[in-house]
Chains A and B, each alone.
Chain A
């Protein structure tokens, strides 16, 4: 498989050379053609800057970016066959939906009849038939999002970049759009690069994902691999809020003298008597589908997921914890 996008030791520093802000710092990355790739990380971690490096709105201060094998160091955004769905959608307020969607064709000099027909096709693709005459201001947030998607797809881009496109939508709509985006991607076969800070979104949608932290990639892999085998404390905590165990606690839990990750859902809460691990309940967070218990144990706070239907202990109660030893994952990224 060819690489749609390649980053070779790419950096983007801002500010003076003496004290640079390293938005992106030495990133190596390969995004396979036709894949759904997620860039996941907290705000300020460099994921959006990476996206803007692909679209050409940022220029790297170091390294090489290749799109389908071609070095794009010298290619301005309008010549990259890469389109973006912007976070704020950036629909043109003075044009109706049809002209917004047909914009990419208009600037290429396609005649009005052809581009109107194409715009209508794209609107049908995002289930907005008949909305062509409306102005963006007359649409709901979800509809604007679809128009932005249709507009970005009209040029048949080689890579579609999505910058937190679902961030402004409410939960229900967001889940529906996640499914639709996923279906659209597999239907069109276009490479999607998706930036998000929502780990649930990244895990459920991506074929592979990169976790960003402080301008660098902390881990890259399939969602299942990243979730099951986080390399570092940061990844373990950011993706799925795992229990990060210091070496001595790992030891107490029956593992080696190393940093380890233990998923809260892998911990079973039992009666306190006759188990090796017992602690005091310090907090309970009700989640609907269950409860998340905080248990103080050997001086460390450990989170355990209690499925709904099980009796919830009182705060201050002593409980036992049990788990399958295979669930204890030692992180090789930590020394």
Chain B
């Protein structure tokens, strides 16, 4: 042989030295990769969460308006005053309604994307779901205000096809309706559902994609109708995705303070209450206590979901 290749190749500088270092100490690379995000999560995120929790156990002096830095449950007791409880219940009902609404609309779309869309149509699906996320949230909300307004396209179209009666009947329902769609709780609901829908579709689609076709065939093979297959196979297997999506829609609705200001009655939601309490009112402890409510509700929700076996298929 003219040029024999060596059994061991020479080191080619820094990159090879680092490779060797990481090869000798496999955990080192993991540590290098994980330290910055863990610092961020630990210090900035958990730290501020802890500070928030701490604030919620302080109270405010009613005369001076100064925060008293001693532990008390007084602020939490304030949450149970009628007007505050009202805000919590209103937010909870809206979040639940938005979550259910999103789930009902998202499921057929996610199912189509996971089971039938191939090639070009898959790209169209992703584009269609993601496209609204590219534009500003505020622009979308204001656009909806115009769409839903009394002089807006929906009222106009309803008049045009003679469905004003139905629209007015819906708007006359107490608790849901109002002067126009843009000033009714129904309007708030519609905008919430629109804005958070992608966050429900994507995890659902990912979950449905993981259900093998052979499992649906096995179910049909053993005599199940489509409805039975849906109830006993598809839904339980897709449940982790549904839960993941509902965490998004539920918590995003609970924390939002912009949509209820722009569309709907001016009734307050938790997010708006927090915004106003820490801003104009300067009541940081009560704002913090309000902010803890969604966290507690989410924890309860996840505990129930786990008990019901929603994560068994994970």
Binding site for B on A (CB under 8 A): 55-57, 76-79, 82-84, 86-88, 90-94, 103-104, 106-108, 151-152, 155
Contact = CB atoms under 8 A, between A and B. Distances in A.
B221 interface: yes
A76 B220 contact: yes
A225 to B, nearest CB: 32
Contacts of A76: 220
Interface in B56-103: none
Interface stretch (B132-140, B175-183, B209-217, B248-256): B209-217
Interface stretch (B105-113, B223-231, B285-293): B223-231
How large, as a class, is the contact surface on chain B? 20 to 34
B16 interface: no
Nearest to B226: A78
B39 to A, nearest CB: 36
Contacts of A77: 217, 220-221
Contact of A86 (B218, B228, B232, B236): B218
B52 interface: no
B237 interface: yes
Contacts of B219: 92, 103, 107
B14 interface: no
26 contacts: A55-B221, A56-B220, A57-B217, A76-B220, A77-B220, A77-B221, A78-B221, A78-B222, A79-B223, A82-B221, A86-B218, A90-B214, A92-B215, A92-B232, A92-B233, A92-B237, A93-B313, A94-B237, A94-B312, A103-B222, A103-B224, A104-B222, A106-B232, A107-B222, A107-B228, A152-B222
Given A93-B237, A93-B313, A107 B224 contact: yes
B313 A90 contact: no
Given A94-B236, A94-B312, A107 B218 contact: no
Given A78-B225, A93-B237, A88 B220 contact: no
Contact of B232 (A55, A83, A91, A107): A107
B217 A88 contact: no
B215 A90 contact: yes
Contacts, number: 69
Nearest to B222: A104
Given A90-B212, A94-B236, A78 B224 contact: yes
Contact of B218 (A82, A90, A94, A106): A90
A56 B221 CA distance: 8
A94 B234 CA distance: 11
Nearest to A79: B223
Given A76-B220, A94-B237, A94-B312, A107 B225 contact: yes
Given A57-B220, A103-B232, A107-B228, 13 more contacts: A55-B221, A56-B220, A77-B217, A84-B221, A88-B212, A90-B214, A92-B218, A92-B219, A93-B237, A104-B223, A106-B232, A151-B218, A155-B222
A78 B232 CA distance: 15
Given A94-B313, A107-B232, A84 B218 contact: yes
A90 B222 CA distance: 12
Interface in B286-313: 309, 312-313
Contacts of B313: 93-94
B115 to A, nearest CB: 14
Nearest to A52: B217
Given A57-B217, A90-B218, A155 B312 contact: no
